[in-house]
Structures are given as structure tokens and as C-alpha cells.
Structure 1
Amino acid sequence: MKKVLLVITIVSMSLTSCVSKKKYTELETKNKEIQDLLNTATVKLNSCLTEREAYANQIDFLKKNNSDLINNMGNLTTLTTKGAENLEKSLESLKEKDLRITRLQDALTKKDSVTLALVTSLKREVGMDDPDININVEKGVIMISIADNLLFKSGSYEVSDKAKGVLAKVAKVINSKPDFECMVEGHTDNVPVKNAVLLDNWDLSVKRATSIVRVLHNDLGVSPKQLIPAGRSSYVPLVDNDTPANRAKNRRTKIIIMPKIDQFYEMIEKEMKNLGGK
């Protein structure tokens, strides 16, 4: 640009001496127009350079933004895939736990069904019209409560002949379920007992329980593995020991028929560990 201006100036100076004033004026006007065009072109060039730099920066930003978006999409895909895998594993775990719960419920339902069938069988065998015999279900086990006046004489632990007839019916049901256990609990009133044979009510309650156990095993063929004698003395009364009638109610023997405790609780414990293990 400077060279052009120099040439024009030299030409102008040289022509000043050899051209007319009119021609000089025309050339000067033309030179001014060229100078204006040059200035305008320079301004436009600078503007274009500035815009190009801005566009270049914008392109770099868009490229980086696009790259970030692509990376984020990849991360999102990875997270979505992992989330789907975790969800699937959680659903499988829930299905397994639900299956174990169903099995546990089925086992409990089966136990309850067997218990109900045994109660029905016992009531049919023993009969419901005897006020000295009570059969019901408590806490999932069968309770047979027999008053002492049907089993023993007062202060004695020798089983009466009348009692053996009732025990034979109970033994029939016990023998039909060899996987069940039978706990025999002796209960007394709170009147102290002490003689040459018995030390106290604990002693009397235990001896009465073991007497029943011996009859069930020795005379009626119940497996000794199923039998558990226990003495409760006077510490689990049905009613207050404040009248002769109430004391008579408290003097009783309970025969508790139940699934083998160890087997049942092993099953429960196993299933509960499985439930919490995953």
C-alpha cells in the first residue's frame, strides 16, 4: 500500500510540471478516492480478521463442547448399563428372598396343618365331654392338659389305671408322628409337700412327669427319643391358689406335642440366614 502511495505521489509531482492544472486536479481527486478505498479496505480487513479470530474461538469452543458431550454420552451409557445390571441383580436377589420366604411360609403352613389334623385326631380319640381333659393349640403346639385327679392320688406320683386308658389314646396319636416330640410337664398347687420320698413340690412335679413318661414308653410303646419329662412345681398356675377349687385346677399334667424343636429351629435359622445373607 505504501509503495502505491509513493508512486502516485511521485507521479503527481512529476506531472505537476508537465500537466495542466485541470489534469492535476483530476489526478488529485482520483488519488483521494483511491486513498478512501484503501482506508475502507483496511477497516474491512481488520474487521474480518477480528471476526475470523472470534469464529476460530467459537469453533474451538464448539469442538470442545462436542467432545465433552460425546464423553458424557459415553459415561451416561456406561452408567445406564451398570444401573441396569445392578437393578437386574437386585431383582434376582429379591426373587431369591421371596422364594425362601414362600418356602418358610409353606413349612409353617404345613406344620399348622399337621397340628390341626393332630388336634382333630386327639379330640376324636380322647373325646371332648371329659371336663378333666382339655385339648387346644398354644403358640403352634398341641397342649393336652389332664387334671391330677384323673392321673394320680393326692400326694402320689403313681399313675392310676384309669389314667392309662386316656394315655393310651394320646400314645396312639404320638406314635403316628415319630418326628414329633412330646414334653410331659408336671404342675402342682402351692401347698408344701415333704415326706420320706418327696422333698418338695418340685420333686413331686418331676416324679409325676417321669411316671407318665414311663407309662408312655414302657406300656404304650412311645419312643423314648420323643419323650421329655419336666417339673414346673407351683410356679405356672392357671389361677390363684386361694381356694380348694382353684388349687385343684392348678394340679395338672400337660402333655405338649410338637415338632422336634431342634429340627424346626434349624430350619427357621437356615432360612433366616439365607434371607439376610444377600
Structure 2
Amino acid sequence: MNLKGISLPAALMAMVLLVSSCGSKKYTLLQSRYGELETKYKDLDLKYLNSQHELTNATNRVKDLEEQIAQYKSNVNSLQAALDKCLTNSGQGNANISKLVDEINASNKYIQHLVNTKAKSDSLNMVLTNNLTRSLSREEMQDVDVQVLKGVVYISLSDNMLYKSGSYEISPQAGETLGKIAKIITDYKDYEVLIEGNTDNVPISQKNIRNNWDLSALRASSVVQALQNNYGVDPKRLTAGGRGEYNPIAGNDTEAGRTRNRRTQIIITPKLDQFMELIDKAPEKAQDGDTTLTEPDTTTTY
């Protein structure tokens, strides 16, 4: 730039404008890059939360299955010990040995049937859980906890998100989350749904609410009616219950603990008659020399 003939103040002003223009371009580029990195961070953080939920559920399912298999093995070992005793006792006769062998075989088939049935149930519950957690936003995941324990799906909702402050009325911001949960419940029509209200141990002082028992039951009832009236869930599948302050998951001596205890759980379980079917299909013990055993049906429908 030719500064000859230009006054010193004018020259300084021109240099300031030139430097300012360069700085503005760099700032704009840096701001754009920052926005891209922030978006990637949010995506990675959400994927991490989902992975943590899936890992916890998988660990619980493995532990549950190992416990059942250990019990089944113990039953087989008991029958095997009885068989060994029969083999060493010549007075039992071949007929009793044959009957015991048939009982062992039938029990083994039934054990395999139970393992297969549980695997089906676990698979369905895992799909249900994954479908729900993937539909929730990062913000919703902070107020919703989803777990599978012993074949039952537990969806725990914080009171801060679900209800108006100090009330049992559903808050407006809870509508979208309840809608997503209702869709999952509707899709899995062969499951029963229990809505369970829980509180901390701080006494309630409101007109027409006697104590925390009342508050927990009223809150559960509000969720049940919202699922029925606003989202079309069949009321025959719904049960509302309140447990007051008597089912805490944390200590009530801190605010953080009381916050965790103030929650509403949506508990999704297979229908009771499906479990009764499994009991009815257990092998029947032979009587009066009859060695015919009822083998379990392996066509359980979900």
C-alpha cells in the first residue's frame, strides 16, 4: 500500500481495518469449527449413554441365566445321585431303574425347554429396552432409567420431569416421553404393565392428601390415566400402585438420595398365565409302575 501523501492518522486507520478484517475471518472459521465439534461431541455422548444401558442390561441377563442353569444342574445331579444309588442296590430291580432313567431324560428335556423359553423372553425384553432407549433423546435419558432384571423391564421416571412441583398432576414436558413409552407398551401387547409410585420420607402437607401413601398412589394413578386417555393403552393391561416411602433405593439423609427415591416406575412383565403354562408343562412323575412321562410342549407363544 502506498502511504505517500496520506496523513499519519489515516494510515493508521487503514492498517487497523486491514488487521480487523483478517481477524474476523479467522474468528468465523473457528466458530464454525467449534459448532461442528460440539455436534460430534453430543452424538458421541448419546452413543456412550446407550452403550452403558445395554451393557448393564446384558450383565444382569447373564447373571440371571447363570443362576437358573446352576439350579437346573443341581436338580440333574440329585437325580443322577439317586440313579447311582439304585444301581448299587440290587434289591431295586430293573423296573425302578428304567423309571428313574425316564424321569432324568424328561427332566433334561424340560430344563432345555425352560432355557429356550427364557432365552426367548430375554431376547424380547432386550429388543423392547433397546427400542425405548434409542427413541429417547439425550435430555430424556437424564430423567429415565431402563433396566431388565430377572426377565422384567423396569422404566424409572424422575418426579422432577413427570409431575408438576409438589403435585400429582402430569407436567406438560412429560407428554413426549410418556408418548414414547406408550408406543412401546402398545407394541408389546402380551405384557402386563404396573405403574408404581414411590416417595421420600419427608411428610406431605397438602389439602386432601393425607400422607406419602396417598401421594404415591395418586401419582401412579395419574400416569395410568394418561396412558389410557392420551395414548390409547388398553386399561385392562394397566395397574396403579403406591409404595409411599417404604421402597427406597437410596438414603433419605441427603437431598440427592431423596431425589432418587422420588420416582415412578413402569414395570413391564409377561402375563402371569404364560408362567402358569410353563408349570403345567412340567414332566409328571410316573406312578404304579407306569413309566410314561408327559414331555413339555416347546411351542410357547409370546
Considering fraction of residues, name the structure with more helix: 1
Q: For the superposition of Structure 1 and Structure 2, which TM-score range results when normalised by the shorter chain?
A: 0.5 to 0.7
CA offsets 1:151-191 (integer angstroms, 9 cap, x no match)? 11222011012111101101111111111011111111111
d(CA) in 2 for partners of 1:277, 1:209:
49
Change (3 A) 1:141 1:277: farther
Q: What is the CA–CA distance in structure 2 between the aligned matches of 1:112 and 1:208, rounded to whole Å?
A: 30
1:12-27 counterparts in 2 under 5 A? none
Amino acid at match of 2:207: A
Instruction: Tell me whether 1:244 sits opposite 2:267 in the alignment.
Output: no
Letter in 2 for 1:97: S
Q: CA shift at 1:196, angstroms?
A: 2.1
The match for 1:131 is 142
Structure 2 distance, partners of 1:90, 1:277, is 9
Q: Whole-Å Cα distance in 2 between the matches of residues 113 and 277 of structure 1?
A: 35
Q: How far apart, in 1, do the equivalents of 2:97 and 2:286 lie?
A: 18
Distance 1:93 1:239 in 2: 47
Residue pairs, 1:127-276, within 5 angstroms: 127=137, 130-260=141-271, 262-272=272-282, 274=283
> Which residue of structure 2 lines up, in the alignment, with residue 77 of structure 1?
none
> Per-residue CA shift, 1:179-227, capped at 9, x if unaligned?
1011111111111113322111100000000000001111101111111
Residues 126-135 or 201-210, more deviating: 126-135
Corresponding residue number in structure 2 for 1:109: 119
* In structure 2, distance between residues paired with 1:113 and 1:185: 25
**Residues 32-71 of structure 1: CA deviation (Å, up to 9, x unaligned):** xxxxxxxxxxxxxxxxxxxxxxxxxxxxxxxxxxxxxxxx
Alpha-carbon distance in structure 1 between the residues aligned to 2:270 and 2:223: 20
Answer with 161-170 or 203-212: which moved more.
Answer: 161-170
Mapped partners of 2:286, 2:209: distance in 1: 52
Count of aligned residue pairs for this structure pair: 196
Mapped contact 2:144–2:157 kept (Cα < 8 A): yes
SS at match of 1:233: coil
Structure 1 unaligned segments of length 5 or more: list them. Answer: 1-79
- 8 Å contact kept, 1:104–1:271: no
Q: Distance in 2 between matches of 1:267 and 1:134?
A: 31
Q: For structure 2, which runs of at least 5 residues remain unmatched after alignment?
A: 1-89, 288-302
Partner of 1:20: none
How far, CA to CA, are the matches of 2:227 and 2:198 in structure 1? 18
What whole-Å deviation, never above 9, does each CA across 1:216-257 have from its counterpart, x for those lacking one?
Answer: 111101111111111011111121111222212211111111
Contact 2:195 2:240 in 1 (8 A): yes
Percent identity reads 39
Q: TM-score, normalised by structure 1?
A: 0.65
Change (3 A) 1:191 1:265: same
3-state DSSP of counterpart to 1:121: helix
CA distance in 1, matches of 2:168, 2:273: 32
* SS of 1:194 mapped into structure 2: coil
Separation in structure 1 between the aligned mates of residue 273 and residue 233 of structure 2, nearest angstrom: 19
Q: How does 1:24-63 map to 2 (within 5 A)?
A: none
Alignment partners' CA distance in 1, 2:286 and 2:161: 52
* SS of 1:197 mapped into structure 2: coil
